[in-house]
Chain A
Amino acid sequence: MSGSRLGALVCATVSTPDLRASVAAYQRFLGYEPRHEGTLPGDVANTLAGPAATGAPVAVLGPASGGTPAIRLIETPNAPSFIPGRSFGWNALEIVVQDVDALQGELAGSPFEVVGEARDLDFAKGALRAMQARGPGGEILVFTQINRPVPGYDLPVAASKVDRIFAAIQGCPELDRTREFFANKFFAEAGPEFETAIVTVNEAFGLDRPTKHRITTIALPGQGFIELDQYPDEAVRRQPVPGYPMPGIAAVAFEVDSLDNFQLYWLGEILSRAEPPYLGRRHVTFYGGSGELIELIERG
């Protein structure tokens, strides 16, 4: 058998032009706590398709509730052509919060620019209330308050004001092909597909607010999800500053039982760095079905 089942979300890597400012913003406004600070090793930079970022300042933060997934911030130069939400790949992280309306008030005037005000999600019949904001590195964060269980979805409960990432959201050139990719490589079956208005996509593409898009989700162990959004035809390939990791959400890391037996082309070598988020476990990267960079971390 080839491959291994996709496990829990471990970490999202976000590029930012000013690491100190981003760390301060995550600490002050989201209550995230530093777990590690340092510089990016050259071999890890290579696996992130960003060798020029070798030695760049790095910080790993996590929610005050403890645990994972973490957010790793890497200082990279501004990519002039990058417009958040208009390119394929990882575009947003969904974070569970206790009170989305209160958070919206607290983010006013902060480096997290609210681009979609808190509202009930149309498909969840009052169970989910969400707002969208653009972070200091152009990363889109969806803050979701979960009022009650949603049938068919195993969702986390927020144990801190702004708790953990529970979904990594990517824009797909062809949703069907990306879904097939996850099924073929990770035995990951997507859930139901439906159409819904995606605030950040409509905002990024200048579409009418009610414009609907096809989306589906892939459930992961540990109350996590990958959301696949079919992007409009006008979407483009994301362009990094040459030699640096992708702007915005550069990569998302998942646990797997084993790195052996995958039919994938690894970018760079399999490593086993000691620092978070790796903690001595073997890890590697590859490009997924939408051109997104995926990190796999072997369960220790």
Chain B
Amino acid sequence: MADNAILGPIAGATITADDVDRVAAPYVKDLGYVIGQRGTVSAEQAAVWGAPAHAGKPFLVMNPASGDPCFIRLVQSVPVPGYKAMTTLGWHSLEITVESCDAIPPHLAKQKTQFRTVGDPHDLGVGTPSAKPIRAMQVVGLAEEVLYLTEIPTDGSKPHLPNAKSFIDRIFIVPLAAPNMDTTRDWYISNFAEVKKGIEARNIPMKLIASAMGLGDSMRMAICTVVMPGKSLIEIDDMPPGTKPRPRSKDSLPPGIATISFKVDSLDKVRLPFIAPPRAVREAPYNGKRVGVVVGSATELIELVEG
């Protein structure tokens, strides 16, 4: 097997929004994110996406208060009527490492946040005397992006997961709605180097997805993760049969979480076809780095950033 490109860590996420400032505001006010750059999407960036409708449209790039380079980019787009998170294939959520999950609800309440809480703080799994459980809650943003706000215990029991360095820190897991979890996991492992199997759980409840899709609480599904360098993971959710690709506006990126950006050591080692030939993108967050976009097996857009 020829050398594949090394995928990871997660470089950032791109969310499409009808008004980038309106969608960014609660990130800044309530999550402590800092807007670093703003501008208009270059023709080069739009071409790399295969989405010429975005050329010349406003974008902004935010980073967590910790200063971590993992970004959230908002790009202006024509909204897709009726789009609802977690009902279609593709990237549906961003899992973000936080210092204290339980401190978030009162903080959001005090801030009169526009994030909508869809999952109160709860333990993921069961702790032990020497290892506290992971604790998480979920909110939905104004662009129908779901954020998992997850506290990783600082007792050293989860060395493969990042602890937060600010109240709300960086993305470390990107959940993906897939038509076939096994196929998608194999796809990442086959196409990229240093992607390894993580956890796997079958026949478990996923209340947020069941609720979003109008399925009963008895719905069960399978999930797994793949692990990449830099304490970054992809969670792959095995969606109910018949889950459709995300509709999108003409010549545009998908609504909600449109793409996830990953670092790769070399675009030349990628054996998948790019939507358009990779090219250097001059504006933030790439600042001249070469970027190419491939389509994953779950219809997700994967933005690969060299170096």
A residues with a Cβ closer than 8 A to B are 1-2, 46, 49, 51, 88-89, 173-174, 177, 180-181, 184, 233-240, 242-243, 261-269, 286-287, 291-293
Distance of A199 from chain B, by nearest CB (Å): 23
- Chain B interface extent, by class: 20 to 34
The CA of A279 and the CA of B243, in the complex, are separated in Å by 31
Given the interface pairs A237-B270, A287-B295, the reply to whether A263 lies near B243 with Cβ below 8 Å is yes
Query: Are B183 and A184 closer than 8 Å at their CB atoms?
Result: yes
Measured in the bound complex, the distance between the Cα atoms of B251 and A265 in whole Å is 13
B277 at the interface (CB under 8 A from A): yes
Distance (whole angstroms) from the CB of B126 to the closest CB of chain A: 35
Check B275 for interface membership: any CB of A closer than 8 A. Answer: yes
Closest to A266 in B: B245
Q: Which of B39-64 contact A (CB under 8 A)?
A: 47, 50, 52
B279 engages A265 (CB within 8 Å): no
Task: Indicate whether B271 reaches chain A with its CB closer than 8 angstroms.
Answer: yes
Give the nearest-CB partner of B277 in chain A.
Answer: A242
User: Can you list 26 A-B contacts with CB-CB less than 8 angstroms, sorted by A residue number?
Assistant: A1-B241, A1-B242, A2-B242, A49-B50, A49-B275, A49-B276, A88-B271, A89-B273, A177-B187, A184-B180, A233-B2, A235-B2, A237-B273, A239-B277, A243-B47, A243-B276, A261-B244, A262-B245, A263-B244, A263-B299, A264-B299, A265-B299, A268-B251, A287-B272, A287-B295, A292-B273
B31 at the A/B interface (Cβ < 8 Å)? no
> How far, in Å, is A241 (CB) from chain B's closest CB?
8
Question: What 0/1 pattern do residues 17 to 53 of B give for CB contact below 8 A with A?
Answer: 0000000000000000000000000000001001010
| A-B contacts besides A173-B271, A242-B276, 11 pairs, CB < 8 Å | A2-B241, A49-B275, A51-B47, A177-B187, A184-B183, A237-B270, A261-B242, A263-B179, A265-B300, A268-B251, A291-B272
**How many angstroms between the C-alpha atoms of A87 and B143 in the bound complex?**
40
A-chain residues with CB within 8 Å of residue B272 when the two chains form the complex? 237, 287, 291
> Is the beta-carbon distance between B277 and A243 smaller than 8 angstroms?
yes
Contacts of A180 in B (CB 8 A): 183
User: What is the number of contacts between chain A and chain B, taking CB atoms within 8 Å?
Assistant: 76
* Residues of the A chain whose Cβ atoms lie less than 8 Å from the Cβ of B186: 177
Query: Which one of B52, B241, B277, B301 lies within 8 Å of A240 (CB-CB)?
Result: B277
State whether A237 and B271 are in contact (beta carbons under 8 Å apart), knowing that A184-B180, A184-B183, A265-B245 are contacts in the complex: yes
The smallest beta-carbon distance between A102 and chain B, in angstroms, is 39
B89 proximal to A (CB < 8 A): yes
B282 at the interface (CB under 8 A from A): no
Residues of B238-252 contacting chain A, CB below 8 A: 241-245, 250-251
Chain A residues with Cβ under 8 A from B190's Cβ? Answer: 174, 177
Cβ contacts under 8 Å, A263 to chain B = 89, 179, 243-245, 298-299
Pairwise interchain contact A267-B271, C-beta atoms closer than 8 A: no
Top-6 shortest CB links A-B: A291-B273, A242-B277, A265-B299, A263-B179, A265-B295, A233-B2
Residues 91-134 of chain B, each 1 if its beta carbon lies under 8 Å from chain A, else 0: 00000000000000000000000000000000000000000000
Q: Mark B288-307, 1 if CB is under 8 A from A, else 0.
A: 00000001011111000000
A268-B273 in contact (CB<8A) = no
Mask: chain B, 178-193; 1 = CB below 8 Å from A; 0 = not? 0110010011001000
Q: Is B1 at the interface (CB under 8 A from chain A)?
A: yes
CB within 8 Å for A264 and B245 given contacts A88-B271, A233-B2, A234-B2: yes
